[in-house]
Amino acid sequence: MKVAPKVILLFRDSSGFGTAIFEALQPNPNSNFQKRQESLDLSLERYGIKDQKVSVEIVHFLDGSNQVSVLLLENYEPPTLACALNEVLSMLVGDGSSNMPTIVAPFLVADTKLKMENRTSLGVDNISVYGLQVGASSGLTKALVTNLRSPPPSLQIFHEQLACLLQLVRVLNLPTLVIIGRKGRKLHRKTSEEELEVIHEIGQHLASFSSLNFSAEKIAWDATKSSRETQEPWRALYG
């Protein structure tokens, strides 16, 4: 499958973050973007998984000079997660030519799943959103990462989807920018208010990357659902 030179990769996570971003990214009213939607089912038989496929919902925004594809990947648990994500990323790599797309992948991560070497939370600073450039470098990732604070070099990530993505894009050498939004950082703020602020900040960075409009009014955020995020202990599957 052919995708645009710019790709936004989202997960249909249990908190609803990926779906919210997917629905909020729309063409600017005065743009010439043409919107085309499709869905994709990829086989996992080469990994020995015969009873499950990778489901991806895709929206392409196309015009003469600027093109972007937004992918929403279904939520999978390990070990299927690694197989499903590798299949999608391998599809994006294609024949390995110089025309590989630039990927931006946003995540909303609980502050407790972002740790430093001394095992203390990153909540000691006031940064809500970090940018992490991974894989091959591109002009697009360089331009966007300049507007984001880099996480500390000692950062440890205890979030399975994010950790798996980081490992795979390094191996495939895909030009990728990961945007990490932190939730649960401001203990004196209401959860829904804080999370919406972080989502809106991430949305603005995605709009800058894609030349799309981030329609904040389309965000319907359920803070109660978000707070029920799976609390399983970290399973060190990705090194």
Q: At residue 207, does pLDDT exceed 90?
A: yes
How far is it, in rounded angstroms, from Cα 161 to Cα 167?
10
Predicted local confidence at residue 117, as pLDDT: 63
Predicted local confidence at residue 238, as pLDDT: 41
23 phi/psi in degrees, rounded to 5: -80, -25
Predicted local confidence at residue 152, as pLDDT: 86
pTM check: above 0.75: yes
Predicted local confidence at residue 234, as pLDDT: 39
| Average pLDDT of every residue of the chain | 84
Predicted local confidence at residue 173, as pLDDT: 92
- Which pLDDT tens digit goes with each residue over 106-129? 999 998 898 866 545 544 566 789
- Which pLDDT tens digit goes with each residue over 41-74? 999 999 999 999 999 999 999 987 779 999 999 9
For domain 6-237, is the CATH number 3.40.50?
yes
Domain boundaries, given as residue ranges, for the chain: 6-237
Predicted local confidence at residue 220, as pLDDT: 63
The mean per-residue pLDDT over the stretch 194-213 comes to 91
Q: At residue 229, does pLDDT exceed 60?
A: no
Predicted local confidence at residue 231, as pLDDT: 45
* Those residues with Cβ within 8 angstroms of residue 231's Cβ, 6 or more apart along the chain or in another chain: none
- Which pLDDT tens digit goes with each residue over 141-200? 888 888 899 988 888 999 999 999 999 999 999 999 999 998 876 544 555 788 888 999
* Those residues with Cβ within 8 angstroms of residue 84's Cβ, 6 or more apart along the chain or in another chain: 42, 44, 54, 73, 74, 76
* Cβ count within 10 A of residue 151: 18
Predicted local confidence at residue 9, as pLDDT: 98
